[in-house]
Amino acid sequence: MALNTWTTLAAVSLLSLSMPQVPGRSAAVPAPRVEAGAAVLMDAATGQVLWGQHAYRQMDPASTTKMMTAYLVIRAGGLQRTVVVSPRAAGTPGSRMHLAPRDRYTRLDLLRGLLLPSGNDAAVALAESESGSVEAFVAEMNRTARALGAYQTHFVNPNGLTKPGHYSSAYDLALIARAALQLPVFQHLVSTPIDRVTELRRGKRRVLHNSNRLLEAFPAADGVKTGTTNAAGPCLVASATRGGTQLIAVVLQAPHRWQAAARLLQWGFSAWRRVTWLTPTRAVVRLPVAGGQPGMVAAVPRAALTTLVPRGAVEAARFVTTSPAALKAPVGRGAPLGRVTVVVNGTPVGSRVLVAGAGVARRGARRRRAWPWTVLHFPA
């Protein structure tokens, strides 16, 4: 296959694809006003940003930091392992699970204390159990933040107590929440309003209440994490799921965080619809193949593309396809043929590589005949 000059074939792709049908189209719903120092609304499935306000501004994240702590511990496993609480962990100030030195808890119960009542002491106990020291654990937090693409984030501790050099952004916190919500244990814990833990040394059971009031105030809410310090003000990472779509709303320095997050989530569900634009079984465009038999090849997406789009915007979508100016036989099945980009209201919402849906042989090429070999057997 020869790839020559590349050209844009937007008109061809528009003729090749009919627009996906979306039930319940309506006029666009105006974006809400949100009183917050920074905020963002994200699709949990794809990471698509639906709305933002100073989303990349570095801010004090307060206890929303604990999402990363929980993410690392849950991903590492060993949640039934017993942890002996150190004096350092027990003496951590701020919001607490009320640990005492030499208390014994499973890591799972410490996670409950971390995510429900937002225990700073539980964060230190978990960090020490995972990495041997808080300092080593924080280094892993920062490595993981970079791996997730949270480039406006730097952690100094595992709990979010205000310290110089400890910061994140609304967008980064949404990224971290999105990654953590893919862990079933995390999803279960942050969606639980009330839970119980057991101190193993004395067998004492206690009830823990989730500090996230949105779980009971907003229908379909299922997470994620509160945060409050004098420096950060009220913060909230919230999530909710309706009709198979989970949205993540982050509000930082938000005086009315519950209302702000609820408005963002409600707007997301009201104003957006999920659309499957591309599937690997559906040709985007058919391209001529010089010297080929047949003389055309179907270009199909290598993978499906599904995004959220504003209501009423589907009709304004167009498909922009880049492909080679000329193809020569033979063309192998799955060979790259270009790229298709979906553009809605002038904004690209996603793209996929185009590949050959079937092979194209050179015209007149003969098939090799299999030689009737005789298998001979020789004595050992």
Catalytic residue among 13, 16, 86, 118: 118
Residue pair 327/1 in contact by the 8 Å Cβ criterion: yes
Residue 63 appears among annotated catalytic residues: yes
Q: Output the CA–CA distances (angstroms, integers) from residue 348 to 41, 116, 166, 276, 312, in the order listed.
A: 18, 39, 34, 15, 16
Q: How far apart are CA 367 and CA 300, in angstroms?
A: 27
Residue 204 appears among annotated catalytic residues: no
Residue pair 277/20 in contact by the 8 Å Cβ criterion: yes
Q: How far apart are CA 129 and CA 137, in angstroms?
A: 9
**Residues making up the chain, counted from first to last:** 380
- For residue 224, cis peptide bond before it (omega within 30 degrees of 0): yes
Residue pair 341/33 in contact by the 8 Å Cβ criterion: no
Catalytic residue among 66, 169, 191, 225: 66
Catalytic residue among 13, 63, 86, 351: 63
Backbone angles phi, psi at 257, to 5 degrees: -65, -40
Strand 296-301 vs strand 285-288: parallel, antiparallel, or unpaired? antiparallel
Q: What is the CA radius of gyration of the chain?
A: 27
Residue 66 appears among annotated catalytic residues: yes
Distance of CA 97 to the CA centre of its chain: 29
Q: Output the CA–CA distances (angstroms, integers) from residue 250 to 212, 247, 260, 328, in the order listed.
A: 13, 10, 9, 51
Q: Residue 13: is it exposed, middle or buried by C-beta count within 10 angstroms (0-12/13-18/19+)?
A: buried
* Residue type (1 letter), 113: G
Burial state string for 310-339 with b = 16 or more CB within 10 A and e = fewer than 16: bbebbeebbbbbbbbeebbbbbeeebebbb
- Report, as residue numbers or ranges, the catalytic residues: 63, 66, 118
